[in-house]
Amino acid sequence: MERVVIVGGGFGGLYAAQALARAPVEVTLVDRRNFHLFQPLLYQVATGGLSPGDIASPLRAVLKRQANARVLLGEVDDFDVTRREVVLRDGRIPYDSLIVASGASHHYFGNEAWEPLAPGLKTIEDATEIRARVLLAFESAEREPDPARRNVWLTFVLVGGGPTGVELAGALAEIATETMRRDFRTIDPREARILLVEGTDRVLPTYSPALSAKAARALERLGVDVRTKTLVTAIEPGVVTVRVGETRERIPTHTVMWAAGVAASPLGRAVARATGAALDQVGRVVVQPDLSVPGHAEIFVIGDLASFTHQTGTPLPGVAPVAMQQGRHVAKTITRRLRGEQPEPFRYFDRGSMAVIGRGAAVAAIGPVELSGYLAWLAWLFVHIMYLVEFENRLLVLTQWAWTYLTWHRGARLITGDRAPCVDGERAAQSEGRAARGA
C-alpha cells in the first residue's frame, strides 16, 4: 500500500488528507500540535471575541472516520530523501509520497530582538498572549494615577496594514469604544489610541486602491489612526520609533503587535537541503507546476511554504484557499500516478478575497466585483462560518457572534498565565522572561 506522509495539519495538509480518503493509500498526518487551527479567525481570540476551542478542532476528531488516515503528534526535524523517511525528533516515518505543508511564521526582517516586544499572531499562544497584553494595558491604565503615563498604557501600535493588522485594529477599536465602554471607573476606554502603521502608501496593499481607501475610511470612523508610508525603525521597551520620509517620531507605548512580516517554516530549508530545491527570499520552496520539487516527483510542497509562480509570474498569496486547493490537487496527483496517469499542472481558482474591519464593515473583491460595508461584512461572515471545519465549531461560533452582535459583549476576555498589571518598565522584563521560557 502506498504510504503518504503529510507534514502539517493546517488547511493544506488537512485538505490533502481528506481528499485521499478513497484512494488506495495509507495516510499519516504529522503535526506538532494536536489540533487544526482556523487561522483566519485568530484575531477574534486575540481580542476576546472567541475562545481558543472555538476555532480549533482536534485533528483526530476531524479524521476519526477516515479509516486510511492516522494522526501522529510529533516534531519533524528533517527529511531523508534517499531512504524516503521523515526524520522526527524521536523516530522516523517511511513514505512513498511526501507532502510538506508546515506553513509560515512571523518574520521581523532581521530585527529578531523585536519579537518579545511585539508579538505576532500565528498560534493560539500568540493570540492569548496578545489578549492578555491588551487587557492588562487597560488594567494598568485604570490603576495609573499620572495622566501622561496613563496615555502611554492606552496607546496601541499595530505594525503592518495587511488583513491581520486591519482586522486587529478594527476589533481593538470596537472593544475600546463599545465592549469595555462602561467597564472602568478611572479611565474611559474610548480615549485609547490605536495606531495602524503601514510602510506602503495604503492599507490592504493587495486589494485595489479604491477598496484600500474604503478600508482606511472605515478604520478612521472607528477611531483608528491610520499611518501609511510609515516605517518602524525601532521597537524598544516603552517606545516605538517610526519614520515618515525624513521625519522620525517616537511613540510611547507598552503594547505593540506585529502583523508585518511572514517567513516560511524552517522545514523549507530542510527540503532545500535534502533535494536541492531553490528557496525564494522569504524561505518558500520554489515548486514545479504540479507542486512537486525538482527531481523528486514524490515530494510535494504546498500552502504557505510553497512558492508557486507558474500562474501569474509572482508567488500565489499565503491564504487558506490556495492551501486547500493545492492540498486537493496533490491528493489527485498521487491518485492519478497510482493509476499510471501523468500529473496535471496546478491552477489556482481565485474565488476572491475579503477582510473585515468591524461590525458591519468589510471589503471584498470577488473577481471583477468589489464590495464594501455591510454587504461585504455579511459575505465575510457567511464564508468564514461555512469554512469552519467541524459542525460544532460553526454552531458555537455562530451563537457567540450573534450574541456579540446584539450586545457588543465579548465573553472570552481572560488574562491567563502568571501575570499581573504592570508598572512602568516592568513589561519589558516580563517579555524577556517569556522569550527565555519559549526558547
Residues designated as active site: 167
Binding range to a second copy, per CB under 8 A, among 32-40, 79-87, 272-280, 315-323: 32-40
Count of helix runs (H) and strand runs (E) in the chain = 12, 25
135 near a second copy, rule: CB under 8 A: yes
Residue 429 binding a second copy, by CB under 8 A: no
Which of 77, 125, 201, 220 touches a second copy by CB under 8 A?
125
Q: What is the DSSP letter of 303?
A: G
Cα-based distances in Å from 269 to 100, 102, 144, 410: 12, 12, 47, 41
Please answer whether residues 174 and 187 qualify as being in contact, where contact means their C-beta atoms are separated by less than 8 angstroms. no
233 makes contact with a second copy (CB under 8 A):
no
The stretch near a second copy (CB under 8 A) out of 55-63, 275-283, 318-326, 367-375 is: 55-63
Which lies closer to a second copy via its Cβ, residue 246 or residue 418? 418
* Three-state SS at 235: strand
| C-beta of 72 vs 297, nearer to a second copy | 72
Nearest approach in angstroms of CB 392 to a second copy is 5
Q: Is 254 a residue that touches a second copy (CB under 8 A)?
A: no
Do residues 285 and 301 make contact, with C-beta atoms less than 8 angstroms apart?
yes
Question: What letter does residue 346 receive in the DSSP assignment?
Answer: -
Burial 241-275 (b: 16+ CB within 10 A, else e): ebeeeeeeeebebbbbbbbbbbbbbebbebbbebb
315 contacts 281 by C-beta, under 8 angstroms: no
Binding flag, residue 221, a second copy (CB under 8 A): no
Residue 35 beta carbon to a second copy: minimum distance, rounded to whole angstroms: 5
> What does the per-residue mask of binding to a second copy show for 318-347, with x meaning CB under 8 A?
------------------------------
Is 1 a binding residue for a second copy by CB under 8 A? The answer is no
132: number of CA atoms within 13 Å, CB side? 19
Q: What CA–CA distance (Å, rounded) separates 169 from 174?
A: 9
Residue of the chain from 52, 163, 283, 327 that contacts a second copy (CB under 8 A): 52
- Using the 8-state DSSP alphabet, how is residue 279 labeled? B
According to the binding rule CB under 8 A, does residue 393 interact with a second copy? yes
Q: Are strands 285-286 and 306-307 parallel, antiparallel or unpaired?
A: parallel
Interaction pattern, residues 180-199, with a second copy; x per rule: CB under 8 A: x-xxxxx-------------
Say how far apart CA 248 and CA 240 lie, in whole Å.
10
Q: Which residue's entry shows cell 493509500?
A: 25
Minimum gap (Å) between residue 252 Cβ and a second copy: 21
Closer by beta carbon to a second copy, 217 or else 394: 394
Q: What is the C-alpha to C-alpha distance for residues 380 and 384, in angstroms, rounded to an integer?
A: 6
Alpha helices in 309-373 (DSSP H): 320-338
Site stretch for a second copy (CB under 8 A), options 50-58, 164-172, 200-208, 232-240: 50-58
The residue among 26 and 370 lying less far from a second copy, judged by its C-beta, is 26
Contact between 234 and a second copy by CB under 8 A: the answer reads no
418 belongs to the binding site for a second copy (CB under 8 A): yes
Among 44, 47, 57, 164, binds a second copy (CB under 8 A): 57
State which of residues 240, 400, 401, 427 lies at the interface with a second copy (CB under 8 A): 400
Q: Least distance to a second copy from the beta carbon of 93, Å?
A: 11
Under 8 Å between Cβ of 170 and 357: yes
Alpha carbon of residue 332 to chain centroid: 27
Candidates 206, 208, 312, 416; binder of a second copy (CB under 8 A) is 416
From residue 146 to residue 185, the character string flagging contacts with a second copy as x (rule: CB under 8 A) and all else as - is ----------------------------------x-xxxx
Stretch that binds a second copy, among 136-144, 167-175, 236-244, 371-379 (CB under 8 A): 136-144
Contact (CB, 8 A) for 66 and 421: no
Check if the beta carbon of residue 214 is closer than 8 Å to that of residue 207: no
One of 78, 142, 280, 350 touching a second copy (CB under 8 A): 142
